[in-house]
Amino acid sequence: MGRLDHKVAIITGAAGGMGKADALLFAKEGAKVAISDIQEDKVQEVVREIEQNGGEAIGFTHDVASEEDWVRVVEDTIAKFGKIDILVNNAGVSNATPFLELTIDQWEKTMSINVTSVFLGQKHVIPHMINNGGGSIINISSIAGLTGGSGTGPYTASKGAVRMLTKATAVDYAKHNIRANSVHPGFIETPMTVDMMADEKMRNWFLSMTPLPRLGKAEDIAAGVLFLASDESSYITGIELPIDGGYAAK
């Protein structure tokens, strides 16, 4: 038996990186997966990969900051698979603009993609989870949501907001058997970080900040997300799970 047999999951930002790793692992463990991302071609590539491996998936081109898009994705997932058990709010953007150089448009874009999207996903999925007798929400934050960082003001603020929104959700909806937890990746090698990781000086700094002697992989995050999505974590809600090689322990 797979760890997610008979479950249906929506995963945002699943066309690559951590979201794709989540989707492939979820499908391998028996889940039916709704894959959403703004990158249409890559979404369909992930759907095909899952189907070629014997899994079930549906793909959506999805602007996570759009409430209209969320309504469509949720309704079409219900129409296809009949229910939603798991929501992984993984989509996000980085922003390292120096604080005093930051424009209001840059601030609002970061907040809309990193925070408003989580609110919208929860708003439109939770009613279906209530009807289904429960569910698991995993919101991807960052170590920046646990500690301050130089030159990452809007990103840090957005990821801290995700952490606290997750806790509020956990408290409000526990009575409906809905669990909400946040995951806080450390320095992970993904398409979004490839340019930074290619810089030897920057890469060595990341390594120097991480007690375990390597950088993280998308699959490291997926393993933690899978645990929180599965019934193995049925008595866990409202936590933040750092997957960071020990960074936050220092």
Amino acid at the residue 160: G
Please state, in angstroms and rounded to a whole number, the distance separating the CA atoms of residues 128 and 103.
38
The pLDDT assigned to 204 comes to 86
- Please state whether beta strands 86-89 and 56-61 pair in parallel, antiparallel, or not at all (unpaired): unpaired
The pLDDT assigned to 151 comes to 67
The pLDDT assigned to 97 comes to 82
The pLDDT assigned to 133 comes to 98
For residue 59, give the nearest of 12, 99, 102 by alpha carbon: 12
Amino acid at the residue 99: F
Catalytic residue among 155, 173, 235, 247: 155
Under a CB-based contact definition with an 8 Å cutoff, are residues 2 and 30 in contact? Answer: yes
pLDDT digits (tens, 9 = 90+) for 123-157: 999 999 999 999 999 999 999 899 887 667 889 99
Q: Which domains does the chain possess?
A: 8-249 (3.40.50.720)
Point out the residues of the chain with pLDDT beneath 70.
1, 150-151, 196
The pLDDT assigned to 1 comes to 63
The pLDDT assigned to 189 comes to 84
The pLDDT assigned to 96 comes to 78
Under a CB-based contact definition with an 8 Å cutoff, are residues 30 and 4 in contact? Answer: yes
Look up 247 and say whether it is catalytic.
no
Q: What is the 3-state secondary structure (H, E, C) of 26-76?
A: HHHCCCEEEEEECCHHHHHHHHHHHHHCCCEEEEEECCCCCHHHHHHHHHH
**What is the sign of the dihedral through the CA atoms of 65, 183, 150 and 214?**
negative
The pLDDT assigned to 176 comes to 98
